[in-house]
Structure 1
């Protein structure tokens, strides 16, 4: 009995010590790079099934943990971490980003998926991966980051961009992708007074981009998805209270100039070429390009507060200020934004509500970039100012008080003109996501959104352009205008997800309604009594869609996705109003098969194939071509009926047979991961065929009320290959070096045009009605249409001498041929991040190979005849010495001006250091100080200022500055 009592006491003591040693471990899990808490992190005691997940604020708690136990932390897209419990039971865990992304959530149309379960071509870029630098508009966050996506932006402050995915799908309609913000598809056209439809969106408010590229992924958006889809998700509220302040200052300067003759060189040239005009020379030495371009100072501020209000509503409030000077004199862009997100959950998280509301105030002054061309031409021997001038003291070529014909003083043209714009935009959505209480596999989603924009513009110029006669009663120009756009959305859908023993079924079905409105007015020239105001009100555009998607996953290895959408639009007549679009994709996770699942090399391997049909209906301003319409003629065009003068009406062109373009895409791809997904990426091969291309084409005489109109005329085929590679080069507790690389090859060919006829396009300066590009069957769109230049025995081009290609003994338009095109054969992107302890370094490179540019600066300006500029003298580029060309009209279509514009560009490089609150009495949690350079260098053989131009015609784009950036990110 005594031994039994001793044994019992021993057991009780052992239990007591065990209970004493086992405690509750609490802590918080954060992302190491940003310090943001991570919700949903799996926390498990190693070797057991006991575990939990972090809550919305990254907090966790596990009972019955003792010293020596190992906790395993796992989170999507982050490296696993193991922590051995010592004497501390209150932990702060920081997780590093990992190349492993198989379980990362990707936003797709009307729902989400994971990288592993995706069957289509979808790429997701989150905030931590965005391109860094002086980013004022959101599309530039993507620049060079996604295979197949090309973003071209001018240097104008706040300017919009040309975005194409896989080369677009059209030749006459829009090639812009459909952009969706929190479920709201936005109109791609801006309003008067604004710099672009995305200029009013603060990049700081964006959480992620999802780029949908193949038709199986985009088909759920039906008639608007042929150019791809970009889904923007904005940042949401949190329950943890934080306050972030971001400040950035940018100092910029345009370093390059077009080489023209200096004042001294110009005097010598005039004395040699035009000695009779020596009396027209001045005594000044003016570099007009330096005078119209300036160094710039810009700033960005963002203040963000997150936390829980009213005890239950996670909230985010952000205020942003952007002030950006343009390199062209007087150019300015200012933007103020307010963003509010509230994300409560009710009924034990069965009902999730997301409210997003944004207001933006955009205030711009537009500096006329055309004055850069005037600066090239203006006489460098003339001064900027003239005290005797009646034109506000600016020098002008004049005869008394009248400005002589010829280029006007570019500095005066900028400073004496005031072109301003103001834009107020508010947009947002209210989303209800309800998971049924007694059927949790089924949820209902309702999304209501709106986007309303009101813009105004004012223009005032003291002197009438091209005349400047101060004796005229209405000398000068003054006008104003307003425009309003409205976009309303109602979406609702049901989603049913059921996991059986081996099969997972995910079915979605829904309805979408969207209406667009657009109206405005213009005052005409208020200084001109013969000018009158005009107004417009476009017919409302209504889009209605019924959509569905079914996804099946068998053993998590064999995947099938089917999309369908029936779309209706008011743009077309009743006979062509409705269309059916859809797609299907299959995928096989080979790496989950027995023969690969234990491989040490191949950690992920998925084969996929897809096919789909999508549409394109976006022709801005063309909403009712199927209707009989009449417009009033000129106010002075009247008919007399008796004694009454009746203003004439004119019937407008009509095309009741117009319908949307249709694009068919077939794709095969492989997604791969190597060495425990340390390296991963994808390879895709695709072909897009667009039929019934929308284009403004000629009409037979007498068949309509115009000689041309929008028609469905042809077929375009694009073949391509995309490759991506992501990886960790080095990784440890102290440092991390990772990279992303992407490459895209595109081959575009027009396979059919109406009646096989060529279509001229690509207007140029240097004459009236000149075009330099052509649409022709069997060739890439917008190929350059030129004469083949002949050269003398010394290798110098012979002016006006071209090869007689058809051998008829006559040099005429029939001897022009197609040489190259503006579209790159290959585009490359490379981005890398290096972190060592608290230091971070990031840079990104872009390359374009095989793109050609028509140098319209040289073709229209580098000829000796232009030394005379309408009875005054004008400067010309020094490249004229390479050709000795005399007349523009003889050489403007020569192939000598088609140049290889391939380039390698470093867009940004930034270096930062993060201070982790070394002095505890201060209230901040971290401060990151950083510096960087934007537009670091460009390597190219192109002889113009910039090889990256819109549509392949270089007629002096707005120049890009090299910017030096300094910033601070403070987290409280």
Structure 2
């Protein structure tokens, strides 16, 4: 034994003499760009399994380290760093963000994964990659950045966007994706007075978006996931104190106008065609579009404080937005407060995440219809008339009575007040506990809420829209209000374990969510026959049992299985429960021996998935599966015992209705090339069955002759391609790019032989221009084939007899084109040279068509005489010489190719490092930019980008010039 002790002592002495002495090393890891501590950084000894993680303050301690060891520091989204130990015992390490790795971490339903381990179609973008510019609402961050995701909004301030993923999945139900904020699914419909559900969210509070597109990724959200899922993650707190101030000011101006007859052209044509009306012309030269559109100013200020509060990482953010609309009187004002607390206890076994957001939204809405009125109003008349009893505004009138016809658009906008007020607060409390006796097992409980109260009041001191009465000093007033409440409880267990060559990640959980909706209207206080009304819809409760299993073998073969059983109170007991699920397999080809040494393919992964999801939301609160009653107005009353009683009217109901179901198959290939480029290519097929479709009923069988039923099948095929990488990456220059493109083919396979005309248009009464029909693209245009003379000029009301029966009637209308693009593209690039940064965004849309309802309903000579008054018309009438509307509005001459290339944003900035020397870390970035830089298109209207393809009274987008400053301490 003594000999053994001597031998061991000798070995220790020799080890010491050879500088292999073991020691304890400590240190702190921070993020280089901000100096903030990085929790959760892996600190390993190279070549060994020994290691630890940094705590929430970025500190670490590692024992039994040799001086010859090399420490490896790694963190998702950061470039790894290796540091030799030597004789040092204390380390300060800063990690830089690696652009190639920023997208690796992906938040999915009830968990996370990485791009390299993802089996489904999931894309994520983080704050570093967001679209820059005049970012007012959250959707602006996402526009053009993700393949298969189309984001479109009008130019109105704080406008609610249309977001469609992979062409949607429905015909007459909602095509909105499910939006989840910090684990809380939110209602897709907003309240009275609100611009939309995304308008109240401060984009400055968002850390990342994850877009789940295929059914294997979305199936864990079951009956609400057929249109895809967008998961929004907000920014979290940190222990180290910092202050960020961001300010920007934007000046905007609408650049284009609809070409209408000038005042002189108007006078000449009236003299030629209606000489007996010359006496009604004025002496002015008024461009009414110029008078109702204005230069705008938008200011944004965001202040963010991070730092420890009672030992808890915390974040406080305050935001102020004031945005003027291009249409006079239009305005959007928002105030946001958000708080995040993220403490951790018991050696990180117990973690809490608290997020609370509070929003005050004030809007003044302007009547978009006045854009059309500005096209029609007589350009020879002045805006003001000193003799007018209508607040000094010119009106076509006979004494004190307004003549039948369009009224002064400037007066309509300035004299009306349409005010919306919204209060919203939402948040969640998340508890994550890793069991001490079984650290592979975690229990997570997430409690969330979303409460929104809104009102909208309309007042006008002059009832100038009433053509048969004289001036009303009292005016008109209405006041509508609505409230929405959303409560959530999610709880689940997650088990992660390495078993030999297998990696297991299993989740099982339960979800409960309740939606409450109520509201009403005060009625018109100046109309004694109007009634105040209230409503309270039955609560909608969704219950789900969900599970997911991820299995990896040899880090090459990955399998994901999802299952969810959903129940909803929206349907009858017979149809209340449904089963949804998905499976996905991925093969990391690049991990095989035959590709491991490849210098071409740095990554290669094959994905195959299949799954089925549901859809239960109808547009515009048409919950016809619930027993609902509405109160009639002053035209629906009866007298009982001498008292006027307001009628109660039952709404149509279909107790047999259930959710749509969408099955999705996908095969994809993720690739990396030369350690420089990466991307993916995917093919998918979606089939939606049991479509929620407005089909006819037999007379007398319900409270309507049509009702939404489960009818038909919709199929969508698509290809997606993405490519990201670096043009140049050196110590001083970093030039990277991101490109995506999507091809979509949509077809209605079955509607039980039915067809539905859709999209009302101006011109006549009850006319429509689009159709839902079997074997056609949804909402294709339904038009006559225009005939032309020998000179190529269109012949008014002359159309082809397509069925050859010798009569041209509605049976000769045919299906032509659609508002949906065949191909969409997005391109974004960032260029950094030392302290300079430059970025821009481009988007393209190919194969989409617009119906120019401005020309079809207004460009006819007969409309120069509008009832009792004269009215202007678009100058395109000079090309067609059409006289009467008649059936001309159905001519295919008004279908125009609306393909476009748009540069959304371009920005240039310069960052001053440590301009204030007495502070260890601070920076000021000054920047300037332009939004809506240019649009290249052959479309003749104001804007080719229209979500439903019908161009009428579209709120125009302005070109915005921006200046901003980002200050960090």
Written as runs of structure 1 = structure 2, the 5 A alignment for 1:887-898 is 887-898=884-895
**Within-5 A mapping of 1:518-667:** 518-620=517-619, 622=621, 625-626=624-625, 631=630, 633=632, 637=636, 649-667=648-666
Tell me what 1:717 maps to: 715
C-alpha contact (below 8 Å) 1:81/1:95 kept by paired residues: no
**What are the within-5 Å matches in structure 2 for residues 138-153 of structure 1?**
138-153=138-153
Report the Cα distance in structure 2 between the residues aligned to 1:758 and 1:707, rounded to whole angstroms: 15
Please give the alpha-carbon distance, in whole angstroms, between the structure 1 residues aligned to 2:710 and 2:859: 40
Work out whether residues 377 and 874 of structure 1, in 8 Å CA contact, stay in contact via their aligned partners in 2. Answer: yes
C-alpha displacement of 1:654: 2.2
Q: 2:843 aligns with which of 826, 846, 855?
A: 846
Residue by residue over 1:459-515, the C-alpha shift from the partner in whole angstroms, topping out at 9 and shown as x without a partner, is 111222432666477863111122111000111111111111111111111111111
Identify if the C-alpha distance between structure 1 residues 876 and 471 changes in structure 2 by more than 3 Å, giving closer, same or farther.
closer
1:244-296 CA-partner distances (Å, limit 9, x unpaired): 11111111000010011222222122222222111111111111111100001
Following the alignment from structure 1 to structure 2, what is the Cα–Cα distance between the partners of residues 404 and 14?
105
C-alpha deviation, 1:98, in angstroms: 3.1
Deviation at 1:649, TM superposition (A): 4.9
Distance 1:641 1:274 in 2: 56
Checking the alignment, whether the CA contact within 8 Å between 1:416 and 1:461 is kept in structure 2 is yes
TM-aligned CA distance change 1:69 to 1:611, over 3 Å: closer
Q: Which moved more, 1:745-754 or 1:518-527?
A: 518-527
Instruction: Report the CA distance shift for 1:68/1:943 in structure 2 as closer, same or farther (over 3 A).
Output: farther
Q: Which residue of 2 aligns with 1:946?
A: 943
SS at match of 2:407: coil
Q: Deviations over 1:838-884 (max 9, x none)?
A: 11111111100110100001111111111112221111111111111
Residue number among 918, 923, 926 corresponding to 1:921 in the alignment: 918
Q: Secondary structure at the match of 1:657?
A: coil
Which residue of 689, 693, 696 maps to 1:695? 693
1:422 maps to 421
**What TM-score do the two structures reach when normalised by structure 1?**
0.94
The correspondence for 2:854, drawn from 852, 857, 871, is 857
Q: Secondary structure at the match of 2:79?
A: strand
Query: How many residue pairs end up in the alignment?
Result: 958
| SS of alignment partner, residue 567 of structure 1 | strand
Q: Structure 1 residues 465 and 716, CA, compared in 2 at 3 Å: closer, same or farther? A: farther
Question: Is the contact between residue 572 and residue 624 of structure 1 (CA under 8 Å) also seen in structure 2?
Answer: no
CA distance in 2, matches of 1:408, 1:31: 61
Residue 475 of structure 2 is matched in structure 1 by 476
- Indicate the residue corresponding to 1:807 in structure 2: 804
Counterpart-to-counterpart distance in 1, 2:638 and 2:15: 112
Structure 1 residues 267 and 922 mapped into 2: Cα distance closer, same or farther (>3 Å)? farther
| Residue 551 of structure 1, CA deviation | 1.2
Task: Decide whether the 8 Å contact of 2:444 with 2:492 is kept in 1.
Answer: yes
Q: What's 1:968 paired with?
A: 965
Q: Per the alignment, in what secondary structure is the counterpart of residue 430 of structure 1?
A: strand
Q: Is the 8 A contact 1:828 1:847 kept in 2?
A: yes
- C-alpha displacement at 1:705, in angstroms? 2.0
**Aligned pairs for 1:387-426 within 5 A:** 387-426=386-425
8 Å contact 2:537–2:628 — kept in the other structure?
A: no
Bigger Cα displacement from structure 2, 811-820 vs 53-62: 53-62
Where does 1:126-165 land on structure 2 (aligned, <5 Å)? 126-165=126-165
> Cα distance, 1:83 vs. partner?
6.1
Q: 1:355 to 1:287 in 2, by over 3 A?
A: same
Deviation string, structure 1 residues 537-575 (Cα, Å, up to 9, x no partner)? 111111111111111111111111111111111111111
Could you say what secondary structure the match of 1:411 adopts?
helix
The 10-residue stretch of structure 1 (586-595 or 530-539) with the greater mean CA deviation from structure 2: 530-539
Cα distance in 1 for partners of 2:868, 2:87 equals 91
1:788 matches 2:785: yes
Q: Which residue of 1 aligns with 2:284?
A: 284
The alignment partner of 1:950 has SS state of coil
- The 1:73/1:348 distance shift into structure 2, 3 A limit, reads closer
Q: Distance in 2 between matches of 1:224 and 1:96?
A: 35
Aligned to 2:4: none
Alignment of 1:831 with 2:832, yes or no, is no
8 A Cα contact 1:666 1:686, kept in partner: yes
Equivalent residues in 2 for 1:46-65, closer than 5 Å: 53-59=53-59
Tell me if the contact between 2:428 and 2:449 (Cα under 8 Å) persists in the aligned partners. Answer: yes
- Whether the aligned pair in 2 keeps the contact of 1:468 and 1:476 (CA below 8 Å) is no
Which of 774, 777, 780 pairs up with 1:777?
Answer: 774
Structure 2 counterparts to residues 336-415 of structure 1, below 5 A: 336-415=335-414
Question: Structure 2 CA distance, aligned partners of 1:948 and 1:77?
Answer: 35
The verdict on how the C-alpha distance between 1:446 and 1:47 changes in structure 2, with shifts beyond 3 A counting, is closer
Q: Deviations over 1:171-216 (max 9, x none)?
A: 1000000000011000000000111011110000011111000001
Deviations 1:363-415 (A, max 9, x none): 01011121111111111111111111111111111111111111111110000
**Is the 1:30–1:58 contact (alpha carbons within 8 Å) kept by the matching residues of 2?**
no
The aligned residue for residue 30 of structure 1 is: 31
* DSSP 3-state at the match of 2:361: strand
Contact 1:29 1:59 in 2 (8 A): no
Equivalent residue of 2:948, what SS?
A: helix
Paired residues of 2:688 and 2:714 also in contact (CA < 8 A):
yes
Which secondary structure state, in structure 1, belongs to the residue aligned with residue 371 of structure 2? helix
Aligned-residue CA RMSD in angstroms?
2.6
> Partners of 2:22 and 2:629 in 1: how far apart?
89
Q: Contact 2:400/2:471 (CA < 8 Å) preserved in 1?
A: no
Measured in 1, the distance between the counterparts of 2:730 and 2:100 equals 14
- Corresponding residue for residue 208 of structure 2: 208
Whether the aligned pair in 2 keeps the contact of 1:226 and 1:616 (CA below 8 Å) is yes
Q: 1:875 is paired with a residue of what secondary structure?
A: coil
Equivalence map 1:424-503=2 (5 Å): 424-467=423-466, 471=470, 476-503=475-502
1:782 and 1:529 map into 2 onto residues whose CA distance is 43
Structure 1 residues 678-732: Cα deviation after superposition (integer angstroms, max 9, x where no partner): 2111111110000011122221222222111111121100000111111111111
- Aligned partner of 1:955 in structure 2 is 952
The 3 A distance-change label for structure 1 pair 51 and 322 is: same
Change (3 A) 1:101 1:599: farther
CA 1:489–1:971 in 2, change beyond 3 Å: closer, same or farther? same
1:468–1:475 Cα contact (<8 Å) kept:
no
Q: Is the 8 A contact 1:799 1:885 kept in 2?
A: yes
Say if 1:646 and 1:414 are closer, same or farther in 2 by CA, change over 3 A.
closer
Of the structure 1 ranges 848-857 and 51-60, higher mean CA displacement relative to structure 2 is found in 51-60
Give me the whole-angstrom Cα distance separating, in 2, the residues matched to 1:242 and 1:931: 25
Name the CA shift for 1:501/1:680 in 2 (closer, same or farther; >3 Å): same
Quote the Cα distance in structure 1 between the aligned partners of 2:411 and 2:338. Answer: 40
Whether contact under 8 Å (2:462, 2:472) holds in the other structure is no
After TM superposition, give the deviation of residue 890 of structure 1 in Å.
3.3
Whole-Å Cα distance in 1 between the matches of residues 14 and 171 of structure 2? 84
Distance in 1 separating the partners of 2:383 and 2:347: 72
1:507 and 1:827 mapped to 2: Cα distance?
A: 37
Q: Which residue of 2 aligns with 1:98?
A: 99
- 2:290 aligned counterpart, secondary structure: helix
Distance 1:68 1:846, change over 3 A: farther
Cα distance change, pair 907–79 in 1 and its aligned pair in 2 (3 A): same
Alpha-carbon shift at residue 745 of structure 1 (Å)? 0.5
Could you list the per-position Cα deviations for residues 51-72 of structure 1 after superposition, in whole angstroms to 9, with x for gaps in the alignment? 6554434456778999999765
Q: Distance in 1 between matches of 2:247 and 2:959?
A: 19
Give the deviation of 1:521 after TM superposition.
1.3
In 2, the alpha carbon distance for the partners of 1:641 and 1:423 equals: 39
- Seen in structure 2, the aligned counterparts of structure 1 residues 750 and 12 have a Cα distance that, compared at 3 Å, is closer
Q: Is the CA contact (8 Å cut-off) linking 2:800 and 2:812 kept in structure 1?
A: yes
Say whether 1:867 aligns with 2:864. Answer: yes
Q: What is the alpha-carbon distance in structure 2 between the residues aligned to residue 25 and residue 955 of structure 1?
A: 67
Distance 2:265 2:643 in 1: 66
Check the 8 A contact 2:237/2:306 in 1, yes or no.
yes
**Cα deviation code 1:22-74 (max 9, x no counterpart):** 99684543244x65544334456767777655443445677899999976543
